[in-house]
Amino acid sequence: MSIDTITQYIGSYGYIILFICLFFGIVGIPAPEESLLFLTGILISHHQLSMGPTIVLSELGAFVGMLTAYTCGKYLGKPFVSKFGKYIGLTNERWINIENKYRKNAYKTITFGFYLPGIRQLSPYFAGIAKIPFLRFFLFSLLGSILWTIPFILVGYFTAEAIYINPKYVPYFGVGLFILFLMYLFIKAIISKKNNYI
């Protein structure tokens, strides 16, 4: 989806498009979430959007996406894993091991997993399957969605205030972040492999 298309949708349908994009990005349908948040900050700087509604609808989109994924994980996830997990090598023993590891870091993952593509999509499903208490999930995912959406919007806003940024180049920002994430995973895998040999 191009920047022109996104801005056209925002012009036609208003701020609700921000909610929809971030909602679907969290529940697992690919969307350029970081790029979109950064772009909205730039558009605020260019007076094409207002700060208040942008922050509220972006945060709500991410948060409601988390609650929806948690609910799906809680009521549909365990039967799905039990029925189809064997086809991808996910035995009951392996699943119990994964679940126990997730439980140890669940609240950190829920809160800060927003910054890791893939983790932010899987984390709420795992939380639901692992039956993390709803109230705690609610509070930590609310905190996480605030700590994720607002900084990206503000970075876009203040960057555009300091230097001129053409909104058409914003998708490259998302690509750059994704490449950095892949490099991080690659380096971590190499370090882990070296440590295993020692």
Instruction: Band the pLDDT of 161: cuts 50, 70, 90.
Output: confident
Q: Calculate Rg over the CA atoms of the chain.
A: 19
- Read off the pLDDT of residues 78-100 as tens digits, 9 standing for 90 and up: 777 666 666 666 667 777 777 78
Element (H, E) at 99: helix 92-104
pLDDT above 90 (res 148)? yes
- Read off the pLDDT of residues 114-128 as tens digits, 9 standing for 90 and up: 888 778 888 898 899
Report how many helices (DSSP H) and strands (DSSP E) the chain contains, helices first: 10, 0
Domain that holds residue 20: 3-197
Predicted structure pTM score: 0.75
Six token digits for residue 55: 């922050």
Q: Do the Cβ atoms of 3 and 168 come closer than 8 Å?
A: yes
CA of 135: how far to CAs of 14, 41, 92, 123, 138, in Å? 31, 31, 27, 16, 5
Number of structural domains in the chain: 1
